[in-house]
Each structure stands twice: as C-alpha cells, then as structure tokens.
Amino acid sequence: MAKTPSGKPKAPSIKDVAALAGVSVPTVSRYLNMPERVSETKRQAIAQAVSKLGYRPNAIARALVREQSSQCLVLSSNTTRYGQTQVIQGVETAARAAGFALSIALIAEPGSTSAQIRESVQSALDHNPAGVVLLNFDEASAQALSMIPRTLPLVSVAGERNTEIAQISMGEREGGYRVTQHLLQRLAERGLGSSPVHYVGIPGGGGAEGRYEGWLQACQEAGVPIPPAVEAGWDVDSARETGRILGRKRGEVKAIFAGNDETAMGVIRGLEDEGLRVPQDVLVAGFDDHPVARIWNPSITTIHQDFQGVGAAAFAMLAPMLEDVSLGRAHGESWQAYQRFEGHLIERESTVNA
Amino acid sequence: MAKTPSGKPKAPSIKDVAALAGVSVPTVSRYLNMPERVSETKRQAIAQAVSKLGYRPNAIARALVREQSSQCLVLSSNTTRYGQTQVIQGVETAARAAGFALSIALIAEPGSTSAQIRESVQSALDHNPAGVVLLNFDEASAQALSMIPRTLPLVSVAGERNTEIAQISMGEREGGYRVTQHLLQRLAERGLGSSPVHYVGIPGGGGAEGRYEGWLQACQEAGVPIPPAVEAGWDVDSARETGRILGRKRGEVKAIFAGNDETAMGVIRGLEDEGLRVPQDVLVAGFDDHPVARIWNPSITTIHQDFQGVGAAAFAMLAPMLEDVSLGRAHGESWQAYQRFEGHLIERESTVNA
C-alpha cells in the first residue's frame, strides 16, 4: 500500500484497484457507474480488487455537490441507554455547529461474532464518513476499534487507554473510588466503621469494570470486609430483585453502591419491598446522574458524568484530524490526543445522615 | 423526468445528467471518480445538473462488493427519548435479521429552518439508503417527510395520516382517552364524580397532541369541568415544579394525567414536596410504560406502548417496498400500507382506591 510522506498508509485509489484487477482505470470507473457495461470476468476481478484493497470511492461523495464529505459517524453498540444517548447528543450539537451532519451506525450487538461486527462496521464505513467517534463501552465496540482504518480520523470514547489513537476516558475508576469512599465515611459517622459497602454492578464492558475496580480499591484501602460483587441485569426488575435479596439479609447490609442510577432505583425499591428505608436503614448511591435520580424519592447520591460534554469534546478532538485529511496534510499530534473527563460526587438524600 | 411503465417517476440516471450538462456520459463518470481530470467549466455544468436533477449515483453503492445497498436509514429529530430509542431498537433488530445494516441520521432539531432540515435530510439521503423509516413525532420530522423522494421505500411512524405513504400510527388519542376515562372512574368511586382530571402535557408534536385530544374528548363526554392544560418541559424538574403548583391548589386537584411517565414522576415528586400523597390524596397516571414507571414508588398507572413492536412492524412494512426496488418492479400496494398500534392501560399503585 502507498505511504504518505509521514509514513502513514494511504487510502487505496482507483489506480490501485485497476492495477490489481489487471484492467484500465476507465474500466474501473465504468464498473462503478454502469456495471452492466463491464464484462462478467472483469466485474469479478474488479470486485475482488475492491474488496481486497478495501477501496472506497471517496471521490464520489466529494463530487456530490459538496466538495467533500461532511458526515461525521458515531459508531455505538447501543443507542438506548442514558450515557450513550447523551454522548451522541453532545457529538451531534458540536458537529452540526461545525457544519457536519451526524449519522449513527449500530455495531452488531454484544455477543455477535467478529464477522457480524466486521460486517456492520464495514457497512457504516462504506458511506465514507469524514471521521468517526467510537463509543467504546463494551466488548463489541472494542473489537470494532481494530477494524477502523488508521487513515480515518477517529476518536474513541471510553475503553482502555490505547496510545495509538485519539481518546477520551471517563474516569470510571476514580468515580467508583470516590462514591465508595463517601459511603464508607457516612457509615463511620453512623458508628458502622467496619461495615462493608456492597456493590451491585451492571453487565460487562469498560465502564462497568472501572466502577468495580474503584469500589474494590476504596474497600481495600479502608480495610473493610469485601462482600462478593453482585451483578444485576440492565432491566430495573432485576435490580429490584437484587435489592430484595440484599434487604432480606436484614442488619447485614448497611450501604450499597449501585453501578448506575437505574440500578440504584431498582435496589431502593427492592429494599422498600422488604420494609427497609433509605437512607435511615441502608445507604444507597448510584452512578451517572440520570435525570430521574434527582427526583427519585429519596433523591439519589451519584457521580455526575458530563456525557454531553464528552460528546462535544470528542468532536472537538476530531476536528483537527478532519482538517489534516481535508488539506491533505500529514497526520499531526491530534491523532493521538488524550483527554480525561472526571465525574464528580453529588450528595443527595439517599446517603444523608440525620 | 422519465416514467416507469407504472407511471411512477424514475430516478435520474447518469445519462440524464450528461444530457442536461451537455457533456458525454464518460465525462460525467470521470467527474464522479476523478473530478480533477475534468475541466472547471464542465465540472460546474455537471454539478449543476447533478443538483438540479437530484441525481444520486446509486450504481456506486451497488458496485461496492454487495450488489445493492443493504442500509436501512432511520430519520429522527431526537435519539435520546425513551419512545424514539425503543422504536429505533425495534427497527434495528428486524433490519439486522433481514440482512440490512441500520444507520440513524438526525434531522436538524425542532426550531431549525426548513433549509437546515432539508440540508440534514439531503445529507442522509446522499448515502443511498435502500429504504427509510421516518420517526414523525414533531414538526421538524413532518417537514422532513415532504423532502423524501417518493421513489424511495419509506415508512412513516406516527404523525397525521397521509394516505400517499406507508405509515404506522400509534393510537395516542385512544390512549389519552382511555387513561382519562380510567381516572374519571376512579374519581367517581371516591365520590368525586364531578371533579376534573388535570392534564400536564409534554411539548409539541403529533404524539403529544393526540394524548391531549383524547383527554379532552373523555372530559367532554363525561361532562366534567375542563381545567386549562398545563405544559411541562422535557426536563423532570419542570414537571416537579408543575406538581408543586398543582399541589398548592390543595383540595382542588384530585386527579392528574401526565403526558408521559417521566412527567408523571416529576409531578408525583412535586405533589409530595407539598405534603400530598399519591394515590391517597391525588391520583396520577402517565403514558408510555417507561421501565422506571413500574419501579417508581408508587408504581405508575400508564398506557403501555409497544415501541419495539412498532419499530419491527415498520421494517416489515418496508420490506416489500425494498423488494419492489431491488427487483425493478412497479410499486405495489405496500407503498400505501397502514397499520395502527393501540396502547393498553396498565393499572398500578398511583391510581388505586383503598
């Protein structure tokens, strides 16, 4: 593959396709526009070359009235959960202000095969986005990351730090640590300094793990007993059932850190089902600052995450890369930029001491 | 513009572009693939012809390994609210099962100019989706509807009935009517048969209006006083404030129908702020069956809407149209199909009589 002066691989051109297929450039051009006028043999040869080189006819998007692609693509494995929808909204607002339209493509859901994930990523890239923001919150999106060519402007949001790409991390671990410390302090104020903080996690993925690790670290540093972490499903009913189970261990469970706010809501309701009161009998905290957390009764102590800010920052990080490409410049330092968004604790009724 | 045997307008071809621009077909082809090798004068002429005819090089998408576009596009003005996210998820699951990838494009937000809406719709259509599902929940999406060429497979979800297109309606009016009747009945059981049901609406759009109209009709039929409808914002805090205001009219307000469940949550919290209990002092019902509604304390009576089912049905409605296009057939009856999804009442604690 051709290299740019900076040594970065260059996207394959129509000439590369023609050379590999053993046909002329006009034949490839004809194939792209009027395939019925190209012989079956040549069609197959060209299709193979297109596929092998991963050729994308960028020029076409450019030729469409606008001189270059003005589409920013968000890749995400989920578009229904609070965090993801807010990050997408943040990217959208920033992209639109800069004259870019936003499109969102779904990566095949968690549990899909690599081939399904590749198919969905490839299909999205076929549309020649100017740049990509990847919401890297789970295993499927982590796999998708490896399938995006490094010639394309890309910002990964969340996930493990990868120094080869531009990335924004969400400070999940620090948030988990901070909220657990808060619960331990409240327990100590109640004269329950040796009581554990129970963790009710959310399923898989990078964010969930960071929160868990932060909880673990805070418990270890405090030298309190560490009960086994419980995992609730994404649905609020499973969180409620978990709250009931913990509630039945009456007297043993004094503080619970739930992996997100919806889980905290379900846990609180489950504790109430067992006749326990929050915060009088059990302290409960969540994570994310979901809008409903502040009107829940009791309002829920949580880690506020600036999801929309993260989305806006992701687009701002993408912008200099888009410019590098549009001006034909070598990749600048922005291609490995890194930014960290730390959440902050919001204390509410669910962890108040009388 | 050319017509197919069925009389439907045909998409403009590369030949039409060449004819209008006064250049040869190979020149247009060259322009699309290597515009730098076309003279400035011809470039301008072709760009104008492309723009005037609304030419989309469909053949290009087809030429990309896959023989035809396998992308289904969802157009929506919002991707953060519960209903929209669930419909999108429903479309996605059905589309994926049929071998189509899903992409979501955001229509410029409500309040945008027609030009901005047109720009965002055009930009999404530039990607040559095989078909479109439009979430027609507000003014911006209603405008977008008129900008989608009738040659493209299209299903509109919600919005006013338009017999020229395929459409799924959501039974908002019937739901609003049903929930209001339920509240009136509960009031009567409490010996408050002449008390009004207050309506706290959500901002603008087709869904919101249907709910309002259903409420109005039920009140009129029952012959009860009709208090002015109050509109809360999308945020839960404004709903809470509305709940406080209604709560201060102590004794006057006995039943509230909130335009959606998040609004009901805010209203209940606001009533509690004023020392009122739900359902003992005031009956409250919502709309949508948001997952949190069933774990709220008290759990919230609501109209269950099968949003994911609507999404799946929208794709099922699109499928025969996609086939018409892919087989080059004339448009069948499916292009004006119509389906209605009725919600159903779920009675919960927030409207229980002791």
The answer to whether residues B341 and B90 touch, using CB atoms and an 8 Å cutoff, is no
In this predicted structure, the answer to whether residue B340 has a pLDDT above a threshold of 50 is yes
Same domain, B176 and B291: yes
Q: Which residue has the higher pLDDT, B54 or B15?
A: B15
Same domain, A318 and A225: no
pLDDT at A99: 80
Domain count across chain A: 3
From the CA of A105, how many Å to the nearest CA of chain B? 5
Interface test mutation site (partner A, options B28, B68, B74, B126, max chain A beta carbons within 10 A):
B126
Q: Report CA Rg, chain A.
A: 25
Check A29 against B30: CB less than 8 A apart: yes
Q: Shortest CB distance from B60 goes to which of A32, A265, A297?
A: A32
Residue B26 touches chain A, beta carbons under 8 Å: yes
> CB atoms < 10 A from the CB of A36, how many?
8
Same domain, B299 and B181: yes
User: Strands (DSSP E) along chain B, which ranges?
Assistant: 71-76, 101-106, 131-135, 154-157, 166-169, 198-201, 230-231, 255-258, 283-285, 302-304, 338-340, 344-346
pLDDT at B61: 42
Query: Measured between alpha carbons, how far is B31 from B42 in angstroms, rounded to an integer?
Result: 9
DSSP string computed for B57-118: -HHHHHHSSSSS--EEEEEES-SSSHHHHHHHHHHHHHHHHTT-EEEEEE---TT--HHHHH
B299 in a domain, yes or no? yes
A350 in a domain, yes or no? no
Same domain, B148 and B194: no
Question: For the residues B7-23, what does the mean pLDDT come to?
Answer: 77
A295 in a domain, yes or no? yes
pLDDT at B211: 92
From the CA of B354, how many Å to the nearest CA of chain A? 19
B49 in a domain, yes or no? yes
Locus of tokens 């908002």:
B172
- With cut-offs at 50, 70 and 90, classify the pLDDT of residue B205: low
Residue B85 touches chain A, beta carbons under 8 Å: yes
Check A63 against B32: CB less than 8 A apart: yes
Same domain, B41 and B142: no
Inter-chain CB pairs, A–B, below 8 Å: 170
Locus of tokens 């322009």:
B31
Token pair belonging to A324: 């590098």
Question: For the residues A77-101, what does the mean pLDDT come to?
Answer: 89
Check A102 against B105: CB less than 8 A apart: yes
Check B106 against A127: CB less than 8 A apart: no
SS3 A346: strand
Query: Measured between alpha carbons, how far is B239 from B234 in angstroms, rounded to an integer?
Result: 8
Closest-CA residue of chain B to A243: B295
B61 in a domain, yes or no? no
Q: Mind listing the pLDDT tens digit for each residue in B206-258?
A: 467 889 999 999 999 999 999 999 988 888 999 999 999 999 998 899 999 99
Q: Which residue has the higher pLDDT, B8 or B99?
A: B99
In this predicted structure, the answer to whether residue B347 has a pLDDT above a threshold of 60 is yes
> CB atoms < 10 A from the CB of B141, how many?
25
B302-304 and B344-346 as β-strands: parallel, antiparallel, unpaired? antiparallel
> CB atoms < 10 A from the CB of B268, how many?
30
Residue A237 touches chain B, beta carbons under 8 Å: yes
From the CA of A348, how many Å to the nearest CA of chain B? 15
Same domain, B181 and B245: yes
pLDDT at B352: 97
Q: How close are the terminal C-alpha atoms of chain B, in Å?
A: 69
Q: What is the CATH number of the domain that holds B323?
A: 3.40.50.2300
pLDDT at A298: 97
The answer to whether residues B145 and B156 touch, using CB atoms and an 8 Å cutoff, is yes
From the CA of B343, how many Å to the nearest CA of chain A? 21
Same domain, B142 and B34: no
Residue B87 touches chain A, beta carbons under 8 Å: no
The answer to whether residues A74 and A102 touch, using CB atoms and an 8 Å cutoff, is yes
Residue B244 touches chain A, beta carbons under 8 Å: no
B2 in a domain, yes or no? no
Check B105 against A104: CB less than 8 A apart: yes
pLDDT at A94: 92
Nearest to A264 by CA among A57, A132, A82, A69: A82
pLDDT over 90 percentage in chain A: 55
- With cut-offs at 50, 70 and 90, classify the pLDDT of residue B33: low
A221 in a domain, yes or no? yes
Interface test mutation site (partner B, options A80, A112, A116, max chain B beta carbons within 10 A):
A80
Q: Mind listing the pLDDT tens digit for each residue in A23-57?
A: 998 888 777 766 667 888 888 888 788 777 767 65
Same domain, B162 and B247: no
pLDDT at A283: 98
Residue B102 touches chain A, beta carbons under 8 Å: yes
In this predicted structure, the answer to whether residue A110 has a pLDDT above a threshold of 70 is no
In this predicted structure, the answer to whether residue B50 has a pLDDT above a threshold of 80 is no
Nearest to A287 by CA among A187, A182, A190: A182
pLDDT at B188: 97
A223 in a domain, yes or no? yes
Range with the lowest mean pLDDT among A157-161, B185-189, B297-301? Answer: A157-161
In this predicted structure, the answer to whether residue A65 has a pLDDT above a threshold of 60 is no
- With cut-offs at 50, 70 and 90, classify the pLDDT of residue A60: very low
Q: Mind listing the pLDDT tens digit for each residue in A222-279?
A: 999 999 999 888 889 999 999 999 999 988 999 999 999 999 999 999 999 999 999 9
Q: Report CA Rg, chain B.
A: 25
Query: Measured between alpha carbons, how far is A306 from A318 in angstroms, rounded to an integer?
Result: 18
Domain hosting residue A39, numbered range = 1-54
The answer to whether residues B10 and B1 touch, using CB atoms and an 8 Å cutoff, is yes
Q: Which of residues 127-166 of A touch B (CB under 8 A)?
A: 127
Q: What is the CATH number of the domain that holds A26?
A: 1.10.260
pLDDT at A69: 64
Query: Measured between alpha carbons, how far is A242 from B172 in angstroms, rounded to an integer?
Result: 35
Same domain, B81 and B190: no
Q: Which residue has the higher pLDDT, A64 or B105?
A: B105
SS3 B191: coil
Query: Measured between alpha carbons, how far is A159 from A136 in angstroms, rounded to an integer?
Result: 5
In this predicted structure, the answer to whether residue A9 has a pLDDT above a threshold of 80 is no
pLDDT at B63: 37
Nearest to A104 by CA among A82, A83, A129: A129
Same domain, B130 and B84: yes
Among B2-11, B43-52, B114-123, B336-345, top mean pLDDT goes to: B336-345
Q: Which residue pairs, CB below 8 angstroms and at least 24 apart, start in A207-211?
A: A207/A83, A207/A137, A207/A158, A207/A170, A207/A172, A208/A172, A208/A259, A209/A172, A210/A170, A210/A171, A210/A172, A210/A173, A210/A175, A210/A176, A211/A172, A211/A173, A211/A175, A211/A176, A211/A259, A211/A287
Residue A271 touches chain B, beta carbons under 8 Å: no
Mean residue pLDDT of chain A comes to 87
SS3 A112: coil
pLDDT at B301: 98
Calculate the CA A66 to chain-centre distance: 30
Token pair belonging to B164: 């020229």
SS3 B229: coil
Question: For the residues B65-90, what does the mean pLDDT come to?
Answer: 81
Q: Which residue has the higher pLDDT, A112 or B67?
A: A112
The answer to whether residues A338 and A167 touch, using CB atoms and an 8 Å cutoff, is yes
Same domain, B293 and B316: no
Check A269 against B297: CB less than 8 A apart: yes
The answer to whether residues B254 and B278 touch, using CB atoms and an 8 Å cutoff, is no
Same domain, A193 and A238: yes
Q: Mind listing the pLDDT tens digit for each residue in A161-206?
A: 889 999 999 989 999 999 999 999 999 999 999 999 999 998 765 4
